[in-house]
């Protein structure tokens, strides 16, 4: 029986361990913190739990628009955090139970590669194949006192026991925008600072522009195209000095400038594994490292840092390592989801990325305000954008902003995987009324055949 050791128990590692056990390997999973990694304990799950509270708060706060008269709601922060923690614990126990059922031996501790083994405390664990899935941690800023109680990372803010009157967020990426959406809904005055010319780099520029306008209407202030030169915290406030000399005051400050791989100091380079200049593990298309029998998956190899991609990589790394259905990792169809209000989801190529590859494209957009289900839910803000290859009509990608966008995006992913054209997608009968029929409308609109649009 092949001995497979998995280093790291996040979305890549726990899936790798469970998949290896299903493939008949003898598996040891090493994790120094909680099973489930960042996603389950300090990322995807707790943030979405808090955002769900914000969604309920928003609905109640606007209940009059639905014909319901109620007093303005109040947030019970301890109860909100307790709910979040209960959900995290439920999910974590699910991972623990799966490992127990599949006879994956879980070793708690800090694993270090040494002479062909992984050492955890006093235990030396040998392997035939090793899958490294050590993940990442939030980056700080060198000129900020990251130990100060009012200067937080995305880990710290999950346990903030107050709703701040004001919050400064440095970083206008996915993490920064999700927390901006959360706290703006709860009544916080939020300022987002982004060094790049626009927020949410990599998302369709026209949709980002519309999204920013909607966020500004919710009270969020954006300062783009300027970096930060200094941060200080004194008393009950923080001060952020921008490179243009302006100052931004806030009760609390969230540093959301990205994440760094946890690859240093665990014996990787000494074991012949190559790291790039930023510390990401270098792998080939099969997810193999430069060291024999050692593969890597998940956020620690760089690229898109998405839990679902990490899980797919973990399973693919195992199959390749065990010589089962060996094939390169395919990242052609990977949905990206942003859980703001409104939600944003994308898959495949945007208009910008397609043109950068030299492709001629046809882009079609439809708006949520013409969708009966979205109107009924009081969520008419949004747009769906479909990118087709000009001539063939093959679907290259899509971006959807609006209610249920993170659910709707998957049918476009399936259509892309099957090589469908816009015309073929438009011919598929969708239920009415649904938000997802907006995708059918958009596909038909690309053919000038949408009854109410073309």
- 342-446 shares the fold of 3-137+260-322: no
Please tell me the CATH code under which domain 3-137+260-322 is placed. 3.50.50.60
Q: 342-446, superfamily in CATH?
A: FAD/NAD-linked reductase, C-terminal dimerisation domain (3.30.390.30)
Residues 6+ apart with CB under 8 A from 439: 384, 386, 398, 400, 408, 411, 412, 425, 430
Answer yes or no: are the C-beta atoms of 172 and 222 closer than 8 Å: yes
pLDDT of residue 450: 84
Answer yes or no: are the C-beta atoms of 12 and 135 closer than 8 Å: yes
**Closest Cα to residue 415, out of 388, 449, 451, 447?**
388
Residues 6+ apart with CB under 8 A from 238: 150, 151, 168, 231, 232, 249, 250, 251, 252, 253
* pLDDT tens for each residue of the chain, 454 residues long: 899 999 999 999 999 999 999 999 999 999 999 999 999 999 999 999 999 999 999 999 999 999 999 999 999 999 999 999 999 999 999 999 999 999 999 999 999 999 899 999 999 999 999 999 999 999 999 999 999 999 999 999 999 999 999 999 999 999 999 999 999 999 999 999 999 999 999 999 999 999 999 999 999 999 999 999 999 999 899 999 999 999 999 999 999 999 999 999 999 999 999 999 999 999 999 999 999 999 999 999 999 999 999 999 999 999 999 999 999 999 999 999 999 999 999 999 999 999 999 999 999 999 999 999 999 999 999 999 999 999 999 999 999 999 999 999 999 999 999 999 999 999 999 999 999 999 999 999 998 888 888 6
Indicate the pairing of strand 383-389 with strand 361-367.
Answer: antiparallel
Residues 6+ apart with CB under 8 A from 432: 372
Residues 6+ apart with CB under 8 A from 119: 111, 112, 113, 125
Question: What does the domain layout of the chain look like in residue ranges?
Answer: 3-137+260-322, 151-257, 342-446
**Helices marked H in 30-159 — which ranges?**
37-42, 44-61, 77-101
Q: Reply yes or no: is the peptide bond before residue 433 cis, omega within 30 of 0.
A: yes
Answer yes or no: are the C-beta atoms of 413 and 358 closer than 8 Å: no
Distances, alpha carbon 258 to alpha carbons 153, 171, 178, 251, 274, in Å: 10, 8, 14, 22, 22
pLDDT of residue 359: 96
CA quadruple 142, 147, 150, 154: dihedral sign: positive
pLDDT of residue 454: 64
**Closest Cα to residue 430, out of 446, 451, 411, 449?**
411
pLDDT of residue 108: 97
Answer yes or no: are the C-beta atoms of 301 and 317 closer than 8 Å: no
Distances, alpha carbon 93 to alpha carbons 17, 23, 40, 198, in Å: 16, 23, 11, 40
Of all helices (H) and strands (E), which one includes residue 423?
A: helix 422-426
Please tell me the CATH code under which domain 151-257 is placed. 3.50.50.60
pLDDT of residue 451: 86
Q: Is 337 exposed, middle or buried (0-12, 13-18, 19+ CB in 10 A)?
A: buried
CB-CB neighbours of 360 under 10 Å:
11
Of all helices (H) and strands (E), which one includes residue 223?
A: strand 221-224
Which candidate in 237, 341, 432, 445 is catalytic?
432
pTM of the complete model = 0.96
| Residue carrying structure tokens 């995987």 | 417
Indicate the pairing of strand 166-170 with strand 259-261.
Answer: unpaired
Residue 432 catalytic?
yes
- The tokens for 8 are 């790291």
């Amino acid at each position: 029986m092949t001995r497979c050791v998995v280093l790291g128990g996040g979305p890549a590692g726990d899936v790798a361990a469970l998949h290896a056990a299903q493939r008949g390997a003898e598996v040891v999973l090493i994790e120094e913190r909680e099973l489930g990694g960042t996603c389950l304990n300090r990322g995807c799950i707790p943030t979405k739990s808090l955002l769900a509270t914000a969604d309920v708060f928003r609905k109640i706060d606007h209940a009059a628009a639905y014909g319901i008269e109620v007093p303005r709601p109040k947030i019970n922060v301890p109860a909100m955090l307790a709910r979040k923690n209960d959900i995290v614990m439920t999910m974590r126990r699910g991972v623990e139970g799966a490992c127990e059922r599949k006879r994956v031996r879980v070793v708690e501790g800090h694993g270090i590669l040494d002479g062909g083994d992984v050492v955890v405390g006093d235990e030396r664990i040998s392997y035939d194949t090793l899958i490294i899935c050590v993940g990442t941690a939030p980056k700080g800023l060198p000129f900020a006192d990251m130990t100060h109680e009012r200067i937080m990372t995305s880990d710290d803010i999950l346990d903030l026991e107050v709703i701040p009157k004001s919050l400064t967020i440095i970083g206008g990426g996915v993490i920064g925008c999700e927390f901006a959406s959360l706290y703006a809904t709860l009544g916080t005055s939020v300022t987002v600072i982004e060094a790049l010319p626009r927020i949410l780099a990599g998302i369709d520029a026209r949709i980002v522009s519309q999204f920013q306008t909607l966020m500004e209407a919710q009270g969020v202030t954006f300062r783009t195209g300027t970096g930060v030169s200094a941060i200080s915290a004194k008393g009950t406030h923080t001060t952020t000095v921008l490179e243009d000399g302006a100052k931004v005051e806030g009760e609390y400050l969230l540093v959301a400038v990205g994440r760094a791989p946890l690859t240093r100091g665990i014996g990787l380079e000494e074991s012949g594994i190559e790291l790039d200049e930023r510390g990401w593990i270098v792998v080939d298309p099969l997810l193999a490292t430069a060291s024999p029998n050692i593969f890597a998956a998940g956020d620690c190899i760089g690229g898109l840092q998405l839990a679902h991609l990490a899980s797919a990589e973990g399973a693919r790394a195992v199959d390749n390592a065990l010589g089962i259905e060996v094939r390169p990792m395919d990242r052609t169809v990977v949905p990206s989801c942003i859980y703001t209000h409104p939600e944003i989801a994308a898959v495949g190529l945007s208009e910008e990325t397609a043109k950068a590859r030299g492709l001629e494209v046809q882009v079609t957009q439809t708006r949520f305000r013409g969708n009966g289900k979205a109107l009924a839910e009081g969520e008419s803000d949004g747009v769906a954008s479909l990118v087709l290859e000009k001539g063939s009509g093959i679907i290259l990608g899509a971006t959807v902003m609006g209610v249920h966008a993170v659910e709707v995006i998957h049918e476009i992913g399936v259509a892309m995987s099957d090589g469908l054209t816009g015309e073929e997608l438009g011919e598929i009968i969708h239920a009415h009324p649904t938000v997802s029929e907006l995708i059918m409308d958009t596909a038909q609109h690309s053919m000038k055949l949408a009854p109410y649009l073309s």
